[in-house]
């Protein structure tokens, strides 16, 4: 069921409502679209140097949150962006109060907030900790000054080190985002960034190969031949280095791009990879409720104007069929190193993974990109897991697409 971008609240009330007999999602995402600067590779929903919109954004997000009746207990809250910590301490505190008025975090729950090194001062950290945030995801991207310049980041390596130490004294659970396959980035530079990361008090590291998304400044520069792209072999070597260096330092790779110390996996992202449902609010935010995926308008000004009238403005809305849900679960589940529990999958979706693409299933097993592993379940029937092999992780996109 596709709806137009100008859909009315009446037509789309299902994107927020919870059926009486249903189970509400246990995770929520809040999008904050403000940044000091838009980096050339970024295609997220954000506005830079538009702080005049913050007060209106806070009013609009309050109205959107009010569409849910009552309060909800959740296991995970994730405030992302943009740069949530670009807000002033008072504005940040106001946002956290709104979230607390609608969502109650379980005693052992995870409350994450994204931040950039520049601007993350003690005042903001105090507000975050006081508001219940217990995990910080820090957009460091690199500890090489030249790579940071290429990525158009506004902080320097020493600032990042200092911020990690400062953050640790307030909120010890810290994750770093790092980018590889950057034009001009050497293998040595990347490995030194990884070594610096593991020497800091961090519990989680996410490593992403640089992508050139259509509509970004980097995409335009690549189209004009102004970027010398990293070769496939360079990207492969740098990805392999991340797995080796982080693994040797005690970080378990539990998903294609994510590595964690024991008991430090990102619980919010695990919700996505499990194909479970979740709430989402803010411009560009994508939610999954009642089998329906819907995405708010990515135009920040229009999203604000719409909610000031008490009406949602959706960019996409689709009710997934049973088969679509199963295919999505394969796409997401194969991202996890442990893979997909095939018996549980069949019980949940009413079909087997193999039945969704029998020829590709067999082919990828024969090629050594997929493997089936039987694991005991401590008293219950053994589970047959389907997962990517070490080689399959390098070609994950090629494998996954055959199941969609």
Rounded to whole angstroms, the Cα distance separating 264 from 27 reads: 17
Question: What is the rounded average pLDDT of the residues 349-363?
Answer: 96
Rounded to whole angstroms, the Cα distance separating 75 from 29 reads: 12
Residues 314-338 pLDDT 10s? 999 999 999 999 999 999 999 999 9
Q: What phi and psi values does residue 126 have, to the nearest 5 degrees? A: -65, -40
Residue 10 has pLDDT above 80, yes or no: no
Contact present, 149 and 203 (Cβ < 8 Å) = no
- Mean pLDDT, rounded, of the chain: 93
Looking at the DSSP assignment, which residues form a beta bridge with residue 105?
Answer: 74
Residues 122-172 pLDDT 10s? 999 999 999 999 999 999 999 999 999 999 999 999 999 999 999 999 999
Q: Beta-carbon neighbour count of residue 383 at 10 Å?
A: 16
Rounded to whole angstroms, the Cα distance separating 267 from 254 reads: 12
The tokens describing 247, both together, are 């693994």
Rounded to whole angstroms, the Cα distance separating 7 from 295 reads: 12
3-state secondary structure the chain: CCCCCCCCCCCCHHHCCCCCCCCCCCEEEEEECEECCCCCCCCCCCEECCHHHHHHHHHHHHHHHCCCCCCEEEEEEEEEECCHHHCCHHHHHHHHHHHHHHEEEEEEEEEEEEECCCCCCHHHHHHHHHCCCCEEEEEEECCCHHHHHHCCCCCCHHHHHHHHHHHHHHCCCEEEEEEECCCCCCHHHHHHHHHHHHHCCCCEEEEEECCCCCCCHHHHHHHCCCCCCCCHHHHHHHHHHHHHHHHHCCCEEEECCEEECCCCCCHHHHHHHCCCCEEEECCCCEEEECCEEEEECCCHHHHHHHHHCCCCCEEEEEECCHHHHHHHHHHHHCCECCCEEHHHHHHHHCCCHHHHCHHHHHHHHHCCCEEEEEEEECCEEEEEEEEECHHHHHCHHHHHHHHC
Residue 21 has pLDDT above 60, yes or no: no
The tokens describing 119, both together, are 């601007």
pLDDT at res. 326? 97
pLDDT category at 311 given cuts 50, 70, 90 is confident
Helices 54-65 and 89-102, packing angle to 10 deg: 10
Q: What phi and psi values does residue 76 have, to the nearest 5 degrees? A: -145, 135
The tokens describing 163, both together, are 């911020």
Nearest to residue 64, comparing CAs of 313, 317, 277?
313
pLDDT at res. 5? 33
Percent of the chain surpassing pLDDT 90: 86
The tokens describing 58, both together, are 């806070």
Rounded to whole angstroms, the Cα distance separating 180 from 190 reads: 7
Domains of the chain: 13-273 (3.80.30.20), 338-403 (no CATH)
pLDDT at res. 6? 33
* pTM attached to this predicted model: 0.94
Rounded to whole angstroms, the Cα distance separating 64 from 86 reads: 21
pLDDT at res. 380? 72
Rounded to whole angstroms, the Cα distance separating 114 from 97 reads: 17
Contact present, 152 and 141 (Cβ < 8 Å) = no
Contact present, 45 and 283 (Cβ < 8 Å) = yes
Residues 245-289 pLDDT 10s? 999 999 999 999 999 999 999 999 999 999 999 999 999 999 999
The tokens describing 43, both together, are 């295609």
pLDDT at res. 9? 36
Q: Beta-carbon neighbour count of residue 46 at 10 Å?
A: 23
CA distances from 222 to 42, 229, 230, 311 (A): 14, 8, 12, 39
Strand order across the 380-388 sheet: 340-341, 380-388, 370-377
pLDDT category at 307 given cuts 50, 70, 90 is very high
């Amino acid at each position: 069921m596709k709806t137009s971008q100008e859909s009315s609240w009446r037509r789309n009330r299902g994107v927020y409502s919870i059926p009486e007999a249903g189970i509400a999602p246990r995770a929520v995402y809040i999008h904050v679209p403000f940044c000091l600067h838009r980096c050339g590779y970024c295609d997220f929903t954000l506005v830079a140097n538009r702080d005049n919109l913050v007060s209106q954004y806070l009013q609009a997000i309050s109205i959107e949150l009010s569409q849910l009746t009552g309060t909800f207990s959740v296991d995970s809250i994730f405030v992302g962006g943009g740069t949530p910590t670009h807000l002033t301490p008072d504005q940040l505190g106001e946002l956290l109060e709104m979230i607390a008025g609608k969502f109650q975090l379980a005693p052992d729950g995870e409350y994450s907030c994204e931040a950039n090194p520049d601007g993350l001062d003690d005042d903001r950290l105090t507000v975050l900790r006081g508001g219940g945030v217990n995990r910080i995801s820090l957009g460091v991207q690199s500890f090489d000054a030249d790579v940071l310049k290429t990525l158009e980041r506004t902080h320097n390596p020493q600032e990042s080190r200092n911020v990690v130490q400062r953050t640790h004294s307030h909120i010890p659970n810290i994750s770093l985002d790092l980018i590889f396959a950057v034009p001009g980035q050497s293998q040595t530079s990347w490995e030194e960034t990884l070594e610096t990361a593991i020497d800091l008090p961090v519990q989680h590291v996410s490593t992403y190969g640089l992508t050139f998304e259509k509509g970004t400044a980097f995409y335009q520069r690549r189209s004009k031949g102004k970027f010398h792209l990293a070769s496939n072999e360079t990207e492969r070597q740098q990805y392999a280095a991340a797995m080796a260096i982080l693994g040797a330092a005690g970080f378990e790779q539990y998903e294609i791009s994510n590595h964690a110390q024991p008991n430090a996996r990102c619980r919010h992202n695990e919700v996505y990879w499990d194909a479970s449902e979740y709430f989402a609010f803010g411009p560009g935010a994508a939610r999954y409720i009642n089998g329906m995926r819907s995405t708010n308008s990515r135009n920040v000004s229009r999203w604000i104007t719409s909610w000031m009238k008490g009406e949602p403005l959706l960019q996409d809305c689709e009710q997934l069929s049973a088969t679509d849900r199963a295919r999505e679960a394969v796409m997401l589940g194969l991202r996890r190193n442990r893979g997909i529990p095939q018996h549980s999958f069949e019980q949940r979706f009413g079909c087997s993974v193999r039945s969704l693409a029998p020829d590709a299933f067999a082919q990828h097993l024969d090629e050594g990109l997929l493997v089936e592993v039987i694991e005991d379940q401590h008293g219950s029937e053994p589970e047959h897991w389907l997962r990517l092999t070490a080689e399959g992780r390098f070609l994950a996109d090629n494998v996954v697409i055959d199941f969609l």
